[in-house]
Amino acid sequence: MPPRQLKLAAFFNPPGSHVAGWRMPDAVPTDLEFDEYLDVVREAERGLFDMVFFQDSAAVPPAITLAGKDTEAAAGAARTVRIEPMTLLAALAVTTTHIGLVATGTTSYNEPYHIARRFASIDHLSKGRAGWNLVTSQNEDEAQNFGRDAHLDHALRYERAAEFHDVVVGLWEGWDHDAFVRDKESGRYFDPAKLRILNHVGKHFRVRGPLNVARSPQGRPVIAQAGSSEPGKELAARTADVTFTAQTSMTEAQAFRADVRERAMRHGRSPDAIKIMPGLNYVLAETESEARALYEHLLSMMTDEVVMPSIMRLSGGLDLRQFPLDGPLPELPQSNAAHARQKMLVELARRENLSIRQLARRYATSNGHNVFVGTPKALADMMEEWFQAGAADGFVMLSPYYPTPMRNFVKWVVPELQKRGIYRTEYEGRTLRENLGLVSPAPPLR
């Protein structure tokens, strides 16, 4: 058996994962210009990344809605506009060759037929490189853009998401791969024996089917899932091919990976059928002191108006601006947005005795993910250690801004990982599943 290989995803959240990164002199505005998107994605493809992952939300950042009428207070909030991800994936499908194309599709503000049809279509356009990041939505402001006053309850969102997933997969399984014979002589376009009508009737959805898109080139698109709450981990263990997670220590990451793999086995799956990929922010330079100086410069450009909303969306409705910002974090009501992230936020504040302002700056810098500051060799050391210790199957790399950090990662870190024999020197296959080392699912038995 060939040695286990580390997997990489490039997390793309324009104009960068650091809230102040867009202010760097060498940063480019990657939120609306397709050529800039394409430049970053092709850089990741040159670095042999498994996939690029586009986070999405159908609402502006909380900084704007929290500001109310005083929108000037939120004027520094980046990530305000972006290209709708399915439109973007369609363009990237025909301008890239190997890299997987993964985007968020919420189960709270879509219908299963929409999601099944869109991602199946992208899979055909890309010749088998599409992936769906299944989420229930963290940004509570989305609700008011879809005729609701508030999010559905957390437990209900995950109940709906589980059924949503089953309907989408059922639609994807509607046709066998060889169902369309297109026999001109007989006039037979498809073989009816290779069609399944879904006829799903459940608590949340009634969907007849079949899907009007043929079976995916890779069996079905890859499914990613990012929940770390108990319902989130259970959903990932049952449904996901890839799990994106936020873990800030190797011990926590080892425990999370072991937990999800154990849950997968309880669902009758091989633990190797799911790839666990923690997020990793990185600030690189050729020397430790240069990297530290760059990181401190990024921190110096952050303002309270921009960083406070990053934690207030997890505050359970409590307006933290009414408390002394240099004082301790008060007790928080349970958030309906993201239970696991709120728990992590509170534990970080207590463990490191952080004030509200310090916590907001820390979280806005990382979005709860691990942060590495240092040299390329030291970053490769850290990634190898986690990988070999069973803390990760790979990493989701978060660039503070674009394009320089991504170019430096590909130029400096990728060769270092390759020298150690833990990262590919060429793509192994044609589809995203093949490159991830995942089996293409066979059609269900009739």
Query: At residue 372, what are phi and psi to the nearest 5 degrees?
Result: -110, 130
Q: Is 393 annotated as a binding residue?
A: no
Proportion of the chain in helix, strand, coil states, percent, rounded to 5: 45, 15, 45
Residue 90 one-letter amino acid: A
Please write the tens of the pLDDT for every residue from 331-358.
888 776 667 778 888 888 888 899 999 8
Question: What DSSP element (H or E) covers 42?
Answer: helix 34-46
Please check if 126 is assigned to a binding site: no
pLDDT digits (tens, 9 = 90+) for 372-402: 999 999 999 999 999 999 999 999 999 999 9
Question: pLDDT exceeding 70 applies to what percent of the chain?
Answer: 94
What confidence score (pLDDT) does residue 177 get?
94
- Backbone φ, ψ for residue 294 (5° rounding): -65, -45
Contact between 341 and 366 under an 8 Å Cβ cutoff? The reply is no
pLDDT at residue 30 above 70?
Answer: no
The structure's pTM equals 0.93
Q: Any binding-site annotation on 121?
A: no
- 228 a known binding residue? yes
φ, ψ of residue 408 in degrees (nearest 5): -65, -35
Q: What is the pLDDT of residue 339?
A: 72
Structure tokens at 387: 């990988």
Evaluate whether the domain defined by 7-287+368-436 bears CATH number 3.20.20.30: yes
Is the distance from CB of 248 to CB of 152 less than 8 angstroms? no
Beta strands per DSSP E along 314-376: 370-374
Token pair of 126, please? 């890309």
- Was 158 annotated as part of a binding site? yes
pLDDT digits (tens, 9 = 90+) for 427-446: 999 999 999 999 988 777 66
d(CA 223, CA 81): 26
Q: What are phi and psi of 264, to 5 degrees?
A: -60, -40
How do residues 60-116 score in pLDDT, each as one tens digit?
Answer: 776 666 655 556 656 666 677 889 999 999 999 999 999 999 999 999 999 999 999
Residue located via tokens 């498994």: 50
